[in-house]
Amino acid sequence: DVPWREIRDGTLKPIVVLETADGAPLVRQGPYQGPYAQYHQFPPRLIDAVLSIEDRRFMDHFGVDPRGIGRAFLRNLEAGSVVEGGSTITQQLIKLQY
């Protein structure tokens, strides 16, 4: 049931799975493309790389990073336009879901 043609063509929407603390799926969005990889299956360097680019303080905040939002606000104010975002990975997920 894997839609290989749509995957190849890049027309398939991405899959987002929000899990509970015990690893059970809570919210799923997007079509099935095969088995999901668990967090522990990803190499630590890949996780570190993604977090360093997307949300450096991901493990230290509660889903909203006031310091990051403030930094982005000041840089955008100085530039006179939007040059930086302050959203966390959690906020980006919520934006995609709703």
Average pLDDT estimate for 25-46 = 78
Give the length of the chain: 98
Q: What angle do CA 29, 34, 36 make, to 5 degrees?
A: 65
What angle separates helix 44-54 from helix 89-97, to the nearest 10 degrees? 80
Give the single-character DSSP code of 13.
Answer: P
Average pLDDT estimate for 48-54 = 88
Q: Is the pLDDT of residue 77 over 90?
A: yes
Label residue 91 by pLDDT band (50, 70, 90).
confident
Q: Is 95 in a helix, a strand, or coil? A: helix
Domain ranges in the chain are 1-41, 58-98
Higher pLDDT, 76 or 6: 76
Cα 50 from chain centre? 9
Question: Mean of the per-residue pLDDT values for the chain?
Answer: 81
Residue type, 69: I
CB atoms under 10 Å from CB of 98, counted, come to 5
